[in-house]
Amino acid sequence: MDKANLEKQFGRTREEARYLSFQHSKPGSGLNKYSSTLTREHDFPAAQAMLYAAGVPNEHVLKTYPQVGVASVWWEGNPCNMHLLDLGKEVKRGVEAQEMLAWQYNTVGVSDGITMGGDGMRFSLQTREIIADSIETVTCAQFHDACVTIAGCDKNMPGAIMGMTRTNRPGIMIYGGSTKPGYSTLLKKEINITTALEAHGAYIYDNLRNPADPSQTKEALLSDIEKGAIPGQGACGGMFTANTMATAIETLGLSLPGSASTPASSPEKMRECKKVAEAIKVCMEQDITPRKCLTKKSFENALVMMMALGGSTNGVLHLLAMATTAEVELTLDDFQRVSDRVPFIADLAPSGKYLMKDLYEIGGVSSVQKLLIAAGMLDGNTITVTGKTLAQNVESWPSLTEGQEIIRSLDNPIKATGHIEILYGNLAPDGAVAKITGKEGMKFTGRARVFDKEHALDDALNKGQIPRTENLVLIVRYEGPKGGPGMPEQLKASAAIMGAGLKNIALITDGRYSGASHGFIVGHITPEAAVGGPIAVVRDGDLITIDAETHRIDMVDVSEEEVRKRFETWVPPRMPVTRGVLAKYARLVGDASKGAVTDLF
């Protein structure tokens, strides 16, 4: 149903509907302007009784102190998130030192690493919406005056920003930080999560061996890698999705300077919590809200950083969703326009060799921002949660360490333009997202081999059934937002292909990829197969061309008439699930070209 019909049916505009649930609120003028709805005089005696029981010490504090929600995406079963409760406690102490009340609560989390390649991955992306819903719900229901969110991985961060943006009360996000590199005792070198995934492909194709000690079995090597890949708390260490989103959000102005780069286990991360408690009061005093930070200029800045540092394709999906929530017009074509003008300069994993902790040691994300502002590529005039502009935030920040090799000079980039390529064609009329660093070339042509679900490709890889003898375009379909449902990541397959050394392969999908994926990969193909996109009628043997130079992805030997004939006999698949959270998600979610959001009218 379109917006006009909704307005006709419900008799109100979207803007009127947004605030309908708050019509009984009568905000005051102080920092406690929302919470005073409950605490002024004796209008809500039960609410005041509950607040006293929850720990408010006296009437002075009840009536005058602002109330700040401290929302962490904490849970114990994932290194990205397992330390966030402790960060939240530090924020709470800091907020209380500012003569404000702090109320901690949690949202749900799903580990992409644990669920990768299994049915659990279908629940991952939809948690972004649940996280946003949770933060919006608690903030509005409890009349919080501000919110500090603490997020640890991938979709946690956009979910937190979307939740704060919906309420548009002062808010700041803290990134939980990245983990340290792991270590393989047998290979005697640093490793990370990508090592484990790619080692699986080498294991399947019998390529996993230690050149220094050929007597070690592939079973012993894989076991050693699994045990050593992640040493403890923090998100995956490369420029994968978590660090991509942390970088983007710091650039958007909704985190403190340095938040994206500071390691999870560092004392500086705990100090950041105290600084955020001070900054949230500044935001309240100056009425700095998420929508004031989330402007077209700040989103363009985020895109610049994403291209310069080689960020994840998931960044496209999440930035589109955040912009939609903020009602900022951002399209796939904006990503291509920025990619065309910004050089790729970071030698960071997955396509490079360094990790976020290495970038931190030479100055971090803020030092890269300083470089790009000086070069005129970033607009330094955007407002941030410090009350200062982006340029003012990094003015006194150290420049990148002289002699470092992680960030190339702008006149000697890894690639003269960005690595994100937006492709269109008869296979993706509404667009697709490719991550092409240039190391794999800029064009690929091969015969299609079609898999109707990710597990079918995984089974073929596990059995060694993907040959090295011809160029193949592996197609994984019915894995989009509705078809998956949940748009699962294809990292298990992409990593297995890289680990197996299959250079003759391109991989395309209406699903998505992890930030740790690399190789000749194209995702987010829209329309997706489940809703009748052309990818639904590709057949084994069709010739597929992917051309990043012309931004095309096509079935070159399949005419429009042939596509129409194939659709005459195409039968839409039955929904994989009909009840529960995934069924609700599939009914509500929009397509990937608009961020796969569930609240788009």
Q: What is the pLDDT of residues 181-205, one digit of tens each?
A: 999 999 999 999 889 888 888 888 8
Q: How much helix, strand and coil, in percent to the nearest 5, is found in the chain?
A: 40, 15, 45
pLDDT value, residue 231: 95
Which H helix or E strand runs over 446?
strand 443-451
Tell me what the mean pLDDT of segment 330-359 comes to.
96
Show the tokens assigned to 182: 């792991």
Q: Check whether 576 has a pLDDT greater than 60.
A: yes
pLDDT band at 493 (very low <50, low <70, confident <90, very high): confident
pLDDT band at 491 (very low <50, low <70, confident <90, very high): confident
Among candidate residues 46, 43, 48, the one with its CA nearest the CA of residue 26: 43
User: DSSP character for 532?
Assistant: T
Q: List C-alpha distances in Å: 442 to 447, 469, 506.
A: 17, 21, 12
| Range list of β-strands (E), 296-414 | none
Reported CATH class of domain 420-594? alpha beta
285 C-beta neighbours (distance < 10 Å), count = 11
Q: What percent of the chain has pLDDT over 70?
A: 95
pLDDT band at 177 (very low <50, low <70, confident <90, very high): very high
**Phi-psi region at 538: left, alpha or beta (left = phi > 0; alpha = psi -120 to 50):** beta
Q: Enumerate the β-bridge partners of residue 68.
A: 102, 146
Which pairing describes strands 189-191 and 443-451: parallel, antiparallel, or unpaired?
Answer: unpaired
CB 328 within 8 A of CB 356: no
pLDDT value, residue 29: 57
* Residue 549, amino acid: E
In this prediction the pTM is 0.93
CB 261 within 8 A of CB 356: yes
Name the CATH topology of 66-180+235-394: Rossmann fold (3.40.50)
Which of 36, 124, 259, 514 is the catalytic position? 514
Place of tokens 């900054």: 279
Q: Check whether 97 has a pLDDT greater than 90.
A: yes
Length of the chain: 601
**Phi-psi region at 40: left, alpha or beta (left = phi > 0; alpha = psi -120 to 50):** beta
CB 66 within 8 A of CB 35: yes
pLDDT band at 28 (very low <50, low <70, confident <90, very high): low
pLDDT value, residue 130: 97
Report how many helices (DSSP H) and strands (DSSP E) the chain contains, helices first. 24, 14
Tell me what the mean pLDDT of segment 418-443 comes to.
92
Domain ranges of the chain: 66-180+235-394, 193-228, 420-594
200 or 596, greater pLDDT:
596
pLDDT value, residue 250: 98
Which H helix or E strand runs over 119?
none
Greatest Cα pair distance in the chain: 79
593 or 11, greater pLDDT:
593
C-alpha to C-alpha distance for 303 and 556, rounded to whole angstroms: 32
Q: Check whether 112 has a pLDDT greater than 50.
A: yes
User: DSSP character for 30?
Assistant: S
C-alpha to C-alpha distance for 347 and 357, rounded to whole angstroms: 13
Return the C-alpha torsion angle 144, 150, 154, 155, nearest 10: -10
CB 316 within 8 A of CB 153: no
pLDDT value, residue 10: 44
CB 134 within 8 A of CB 101: no
Active site residue 593: no
